[in-house]
């Protein structure tokens, strides 16, 4: 299944960019005056292959999983919060539920590796978002002591993400917002990012859910010791993922690969989401052209992950929540870009005099 997805993945349609740029210059505004919205419109056209790209409705995929490394005291919250927040997603009360409703998104929550068994009838009891049970295993192992998971499990988790992207596209979603929930997943993300970029762990490690600054040195030391003990091959993204990663991070990488293979714009959220996107790009560099970065997270490693991808986020709101919230908040800008292309009058149609030149 991963092989089929990779076989289908194509480069974006660069030819369309010139035609859309010409159309943008015919619209009733000084050329270039809608700034970033204009380049966004061109990007959406090259991704979808449509001169008038359609990106609604969006689909939000929230992947949830637990992390054995939580046992090292690297998060401000107990591991049980992962499962409890899944209950909150299903009931419709989390921040991502609110923002998904605001943008008319289809929301799906996927258990790819929560440590406890989640109730199978919670959605049937009046919950608003579908909970999909696609658990690969009950959380990763503690990578301070052993590999987080087997390579085959990492591939299975990537395929969970591909399937979720396929379901969203089959349901009519035209833009994907990929989010996550997993206590201790900033530790896994910082560890993977350090190996992927070769940058010092100290520059890539932050307070996550809000550990006190006094515990940052401990979190860094856990990561540094684990990288040394697990010794992943920096050239092998699946080796890094299976030794230091997380099941939801693997599934997010899979969702990016799956969405890109269906030519759907991928709106990237915060730190964990960007590390997963970097991983997907190391699996196949063609994914990069499908990524649009929603926001810059407060987590200090995020800017390094963005730099590794050459990403320039749309928003900077001081968020550090995850769940896909920052990407969902950026979605209306994408919608504005497509409406500008489709609905604005041209100089000719409105009878407005064009530029007289220099």
Ligand X SMILES: O=C(O)c1ccc[n+]([C@@H]2O[C@H](COP(=O)([O-])O)[C@@H](O)[C@H]2O)c1
Ligand Y SMILES: Cc1cc2nc[nH]c2cc1C
| 323 noted as active-site residue | yes
Cβ distance to ligand X smaller for residue 78 or 172: 78
In the complex with ligand Y, the residue whose CB is nearer, 34 or 90, is: 90
Report the site for ligand X in 295-324 (rule: CB under 6 A): 297, 299, 302, 320-323
Determine, following the binding rule CB under 6 A, whether residue 323 of this chain makes contact with ligand Y. yes
Which tokens go with 292?
A: 């649009």
Identity of the residue, 41 or 277, whose beta carbon is nearer to ligand X in the bound complex: 277
The dihedrals phi and psi of 292, each to the nearest 5 degrees, come to -125, 130
Residue 288: CB minimum distance to ligand Y, A = 26
Tokens representing 201 are 């762990």
- Kindly tell me which of 45 and 272 has the beta carbon lying closer to ligand X: 272
Which listed residue (37, 40, 55, 85) binds ligand Y by CB under 6 A? 85
Size (the chain), residues = 358
The CA radius of gyration of the chain, in Å to the nearest whole number, is: 21
Interface with ligand X, residue 248, by CB under 6 A: no
| Residue placing its CB nearer to ligand X in the complex, 143 or 271 | 271
For residue 118, the minimal CB distance to ligand X (Å) is: 16
Tell me how far apart the alpha carbons of residues 139 and 148 are, in angstroms, rounded to a whole number.
9
Tell me how far, at minimum, the Cβ of 333 lies from ligand X, in Å. 18
Q: Which one among 272, 277, 292, 330 touches ligand X, defined by CB under 6 A? A: 272
Q: Are 112 and 134 in contact (CB under 8 A)?
A: yes
Q: Does 209 contact ligand Y by CB under 6 A?
A: yes
**Considering the complex, what minimum distance in angstroms separates the CB of residue 77 from ligand Y?**
4
Sign of CA dihedral 90, 168, 295, 251: positive
Only one residue has tokens 């799906």, namely 108
Tell which residue, 318, 237, 224, has the closest CA to residue 270. Answer: 318
Smallest separation (angstroms) from ligand Y to the CB of 245: 17
Per-position DSSP letters for 190-249, written without gaps between them: HHHHHHHH---HHHH---TTT--GGGHHHHHHHHHHHHHHH---TT-HHHHHHHH--HHH
Contact call for residue 181 and ligand X (CB under 6 A): yes
DSSP letters for 52-70: S----SEEEEEEEE--GGG
**How many residues sit close enough to ligand Y to count as binding (CB under 6 A)?**
8
Residue with tokens 């579908």: 130
User: Phi first, then psi: what are they for 113, rounded to 5°?
Assistant: 175, 40
Query: Does residue 221 interact with ligand Y by CB under 6 A?
Result: no
What does 42 interact with, of ligand X, ligand Y, none (CB < 5 to 8 A by kind)?
A: none
- Do 180 and 62 touch, CB atoms closer than 8 A? yes
Query: Annotated catalytic residue: which of 50, 72, 180, 323?
Result: 323
Residues 164, 182: Cα–Cα separation, whole Å: 18
| Interface ranges with ligand X (CB under 6 A) | 75-77, 180-187, 208-209, 269-272, 297, 299, 302, 320-323
| Interface ranges with ligand Y (CB under 6 A) | 77, 81, 85, 181, 209, 321-323
Catalytic residues: 323
């Amino acid at each position: 299944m991963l092989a089929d997805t990779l076989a289908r993945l194509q480069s974006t349609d660069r030819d369309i960019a010139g035609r859309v740029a010409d159309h943008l210059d015919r619209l009733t505004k000084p050329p270039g005056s809608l700034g970033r919205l204009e380049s966004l419109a061109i990007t959406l056209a090259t991704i979808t292959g449509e001169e008038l790209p359609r990106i609604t409705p969006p689909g939000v995929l929230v992947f949830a999983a637990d992390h054995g490394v939580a046992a090292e005291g690297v998060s401000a919250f107990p591991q049980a919060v992962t499962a409890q927040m899944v209950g909150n997603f299903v009931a419709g009360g989390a921040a991502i539920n609110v923002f998904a409703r605001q943008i008319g998104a289809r929301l799906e929550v996927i258990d790819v590796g929560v440590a406890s068994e989640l109730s199978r009838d919670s959605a049937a009891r009046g919950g608003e978002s579908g909970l999909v049970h696609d658990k690969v295993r009950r959380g990763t192992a503690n990578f301070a002591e052993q590999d987080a998971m087997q390579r085959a499990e990492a591939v299975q988790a990537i395929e969970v993400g591909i399937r979720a992207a396929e379901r969203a596209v089959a349901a009519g979603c035209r833009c994907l917002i990929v989010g996550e929930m997993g206590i201790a997943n900033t530790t896994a993300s910082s560890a993977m990012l350090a190996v992927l970029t070769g940058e010092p762990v100290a520059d890539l490690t932050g307070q996550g859910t809000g550990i006190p600054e006094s515990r940052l040195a401990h979190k860094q030391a856990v990561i540094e010791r684990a990288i040394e003990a697990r010794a992943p091959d920096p050239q092998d993204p699946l080796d890094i993922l299976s030794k230091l990663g997380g099941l939801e991070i693997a599934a997010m990488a899979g969702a990016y690969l799956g969405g890109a293979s269906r030519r759907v714009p991928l709106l990237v959220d915060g730190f964990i989401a960007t590390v997963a996107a970097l991983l997907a790009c190391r699996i196949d560099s063609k994914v990069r052209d499908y990524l649009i970065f929603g926001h810059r997270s407060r987590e200090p490693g995020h800017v390094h992950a963005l730099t590794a991808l050459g990403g320039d986020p749309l928003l900077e709101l001081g968020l550090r929540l995850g769940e896909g919230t920052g990407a969902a908040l950026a979605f209306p800008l994408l919608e504005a870009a497509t409406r500008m292309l489709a609905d604005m009058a041209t100089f000719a149609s409105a009878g407005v005099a064009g530029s007289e030149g220099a």
